[in-house]
């Protein structure tokens, strides 16, 4: 067990704090901090955080590139490190394959050495670990079947190595570690131009008043609202003793159904394509078994209804697109 007081009082580092999960996690950590506690340290390449109501006066913002070894070498030690940095968008990790590997392998190794005695390291892994597995929903003991030459190998293999490093650090460095395999978190906090399916659908529907699918949308996805994801992350951090936990939602929907819902909510025209042009390497089903994670809660965990979460996401993105035009 990891004392919740560590999150309220001790030095904390959050990498990837400008992303949807990192930024919302930072916002929640700030709300739990006690008076007089050190500022939460975050790293970000841009120095710009999403407009989700984060009190930046409570932060030490380190602008820099984690791929710069000198930047990491200059970091002090921390009691808790959340390593959330990485390319969550397939388009991004397919574009920068070597950087993707480095963020999950070299950077993870370096950050593990920055955890102080008795501290905690949380590695943000991915459901992509299960790619190719016939077992659905995916449980933590399952493993994918993709090889190192798969189109998404930089991301998948990078996450596998990151998990292995975190696990081995338990004995080698005496660090308390956990990896969280995260699937399809959505909600406020994404950047304008985010190319992931849901965000792309929302943007195109709002801006063009029409949404044409890239393929027939048969693939199945199970989304998790970001507020729920943050609660799950904090519970795993403070109560989880296992090396790895799943983090995902419970409502499964096809990409076609998702597109139709977004088009209806935004008043856009919805059309199926004349030919398929989608990503061929994407998994056909993403659904995680949440049993082990939910056992950490003393009572039933109430997930945000997908309809409600989607409406909030659309409303937030409408405001972001409006601000970007001004």
Specify the pLDDT at position 273: 84
Determine, yes or no, domain membership for 300.
no
Query: Are 266 and 142 contained in the same domain?
Result: no
pTM exceeds 0.85 for this model: yes
Average of pLDDT values for 95-106?
86
Specify the pLDDT at position 161: 96
Specify the pLDDT at position 281: 63
- Beta-bridged to residue 245, according to DSSP, are 180
Query: Are 266 and 155 contained in the same domain?
Result: no
Domain holding 190, by residue range, is 186-222+251-284+305-325
Specify the pLDDT at position 269: 94
193 in Cβ contact with 315 (< 8 Å): no
Specify the pLDDT at position 283: 74
Query: Are 43 and 159 contained in the same domain?
Result: yes
Whether 2 shows a pLDDT value over 70: the answer reads no
Which among 43, 32, 80, 91 is positioned nearest to 65, based on CA atoms? 43
193: left (phi over 0), alpha (psi -120 to 50) or beta: left
Query: Are 85 and 194 contained in the same domain?
Result: no
Specify the pLDDT at position 35: 84
Determine, yes or no, domain membership for 293.
no
Specify the pLDDT at position 151: 83
Which among 155, 93, 82, 185 is positioned nearest to 124, based on CA atoms? 82
Q: Give the number of other CB atoms < 10 A from CB of residue 249.
A: 25
Query: Are 151 and 215 contained in the same domain?
Result: no
Is the CA virtual torsion 91, 23, 211, 252 positive or negative? Answer: positive
Whole-number mean pLDDT of the chain? 90
pLDDT confidence band for 53 (50 / 70 / 90)? very high
Count how many Cα atoms sit within 13 Å of the Cα of residue 312 in the half-sphere of its side chain. 14
pLDDT confidence band for 4 (50 / 70 / 90)? low
Query: Are 214 and 120 contained in the same domain?
Result: no
- CATH number for position 22: 3.40.50.720
- Looking at residue 288, the DSSP 8-state letter turns out to be B
Q: Which residue has the tokens 């449980």?
A: 139
Query: Are 167 and 276 contained in the same domain?
Result: no
Average of pLDDT values for 264-268?
95
Which among 269, 172, 274, 257 is positioned nearest to 222, based on CA atoms? 257
Specify the pLDDT at position 125: 97
Whether 90 shows a pLDDT value over 90: the answer reads no
- CATH number for position 262: 3.90.25.10
Structurally, how many domains does the chain consist of?
2
- Beta-bridged to residue 80, according to DSSP, are 12, 120
Query: Are 15 and 153 contained in the same domain?
Result: yes
Specify the pLDDT at position 257: 96
Q: What are phi and psi of 286, to 5 degrees?
A: -125, 110
| Cα(197)–Cα(185) distance, integer angstroms | 12
Whether 325 shows a pLDDT value over 60: the answer reads no
Query: Are 255 and 311 contained in the same domain?
Result: yes
Determine, yes or no, domain membership for 12.
yes
Among 90-99, 186-195, 214-223, name the one with the lowest average pLDDT.
Answer: 90-99
281 in Cβ contact with 244 (< 8 Å): no
Average of pLDDT values for 273-288?
75
């Amino acid at each position: 067990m990891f004392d919740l007081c560590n999150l309220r009082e001790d030095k904390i580092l959050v990498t990837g704090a400008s992303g949807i999960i990192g930024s919302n996690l930072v916002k929640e950590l700030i709300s739990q901090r006690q008076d007089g506690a050190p500022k939460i340290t975050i790293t970000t390449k841009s120095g710009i955080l999403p407009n989700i109501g984060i009190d930046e006066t409570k932060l030490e913002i380190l602008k820099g590139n984690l791929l710069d070894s000198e930047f990491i070498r200059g970091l002090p030690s921390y009691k808790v490190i959340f390593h959330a940095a990485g390319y969550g968008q397939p388009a991004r990790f397919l574009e920068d394959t070597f950087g993707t590997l480095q963020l999950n392998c070299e950077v993870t190794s370096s950050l593990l050495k920055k955890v102080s005695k008795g501290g905690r390291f949380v590695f943000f892994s991915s459901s992509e670990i299960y790619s190719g597995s016939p077992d659905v929903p995916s449980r933590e003991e399952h493993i994918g079947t993709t090889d190192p030459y798969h189109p998404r190998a930089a991301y998948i293999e990078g996450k596998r190595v990151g998990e292995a490093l975190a696990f081995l650090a338990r004995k080698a460095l005496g660090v308390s570690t956990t990896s969280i395999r995260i699937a399809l978190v959505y909600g406020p906090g994404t950047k304008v131009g985010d190319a992931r399916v849901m965000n792309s659908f929302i943007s195109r529907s709002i801006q063009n008043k029409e949404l044409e699918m890239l393929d027939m949308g048969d693939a199945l996805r199970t989304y998790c609202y970001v507020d729920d994801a943050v609660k799950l992350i904090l519970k795993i951090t403070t109560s989880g003793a296992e090396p790895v936990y799943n983090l995902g939602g419970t409502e499964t929907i096809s990409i076609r159904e998702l597109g139709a819902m977004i088009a209806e909510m935004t008043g856009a025209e919805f059309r199926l394509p004349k030919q398929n042009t989608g990503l061929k390497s994407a998994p056909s089903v993403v659904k995680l078994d949440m049993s082990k994670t939910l056992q950490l809660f003393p009572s039933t965990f109430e997930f945000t209804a997908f309809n409600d979460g989607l409406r909030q996401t659309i409303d937030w993105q409408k405001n972001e697109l409006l601000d970007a035009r001004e």
